[in-house]
């Protein structure tokens, strides 16, 4: 892991510490680093519930469920999306308005191959994670095209920060770690810890009073498969160099 660019200093609480002790076996980091690496949003499954492990946000769950099917592969559980209209929403209280700050968005994804009886029901564009917005264009869109790409706007009118920038080639029926970071004016995309794209922009990411949404969008673009450990960190670029992700480790 590359060295953190900043430490946020948001305090941990007993609930988060208890959860982290169940999720990982490695020695705990010191409190400040630990809280930074957990982020401002960390979506995972705790036994039978879909939760934000940071305690900052309460998920609004729409036809999305947790599963522990294939426990040996998926661990203790993961979030399952049906490829039609399931999603998770989180109220934007400022944690997802990045401006020109460093940030990191990363998640584990297991995209299921489309069965024949789903072909007519699934959109050809499979959103996996994006920022939903009242703006004409969402501040951040991450989707398949058919490769995984990201578009980012500063003004809601055009993709002036990133216009379908490459994140990585899509693979099905396998766990993949995806990441997007900003460090100063440098943007990075990662697939399984390998850098796939770097570009420069000085523009601030557009703000929104909408929701941060994972899964299906109002436009009918959906994700079919599983996700786990979906994280948003504001103020810190977790990675600016290649790293080795490990699904069994909370912080990779």
Q: Is the dihedral of CA 94, 97, 101, 104 positive or negative?
A: positive
Q: Containing H/E element for 240?
A: none
**pLDDT at residue 219 in the model:** 62
Neighbouring residues of 119: CB distance < 8 A, sequence distance ≥ 6: none
pTM of the model: 0.83
Question: What whole-number distance in Å separates Cα of residue 114 and Cα of residue 209?
Answer: 34
Confidence check: pLDDT of 124 > 70: no
The residue assigned the tokens 């990363």 is 106
Confidence check: pLDDT of 106 > 90: yes
> Which domains does the chain carry?
14-113+121-234 (2.60.120.200)
pLDDT bucket at 213, cuts 50 / 70 / 90: confident
pLDDT bucket at 1, cuts 50 / 70 / 90: very low
Neighbouring residues of 70: CB distance < 8 A, sequence distance ≥ 6: none
Tell me the residue ranges of DSSP E strands in 70-222: 78-82, 87-91, 103-111, 127-131, 140-144, 148-152, 162-168, 175-183, 186-191, 194-200, 211-215
For the segment 162-197, what is each residue's pLDDT rounded down to a tens digit? 999 999 999 988 999 999 999 999 999 999 999 999
């Amino acid at each position: 892991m590359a060295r953190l660019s900043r430490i946020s200093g948001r305090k941990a609480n007993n609930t988060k510490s208890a959860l982290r002790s169940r999720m990982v076996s490695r020695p705990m980091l010191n409190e400040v680093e630990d809280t930074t690496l957990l982020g401002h949003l960390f979506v995972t499954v705790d036994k039978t519930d879909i939760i934000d492990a940071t305690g900052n946000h309460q998920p609004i769950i729409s036809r999305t469920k947790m599963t522990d099917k294939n426990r040996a592969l998926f661990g203790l559980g993961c979030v399952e999306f049906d490829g039609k209209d399931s999603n998770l929403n989180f109220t934007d209280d400022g944690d997802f308005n990045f401006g020109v700050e460093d940030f990191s968005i990363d998640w584990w994804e297991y995209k299921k191959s489309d069965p024949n009886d789903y072909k007519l029901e699934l959109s050809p564009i499979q959103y996996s994670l994006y920022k939903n917005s009242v703006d004409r264009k969402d501040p951040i869109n991450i989707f398949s095209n058919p490769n995984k790409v990201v578009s980012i706007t500063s003004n809601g009118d055009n993709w002036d920060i990133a216009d379908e920038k490459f994140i990585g080639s899509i693979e099905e029926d396998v766990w993949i770690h995806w990441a997007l970071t900003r460090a100063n004016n440098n943007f990075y995309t990662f697939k399984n810890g390998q850098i796939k794209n770097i570009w420069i922009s000085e523009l601030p990411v557009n703000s929104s009073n909408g929701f941060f949404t994972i899964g299906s969008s109002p436009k009918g673009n959906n994700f079919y498969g599983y996700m786990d450990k979906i994280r948003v960190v504001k103020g810190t670029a977790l990675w600016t160099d290649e790293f080795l992700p490990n699904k069994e480790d909370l912080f990779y």
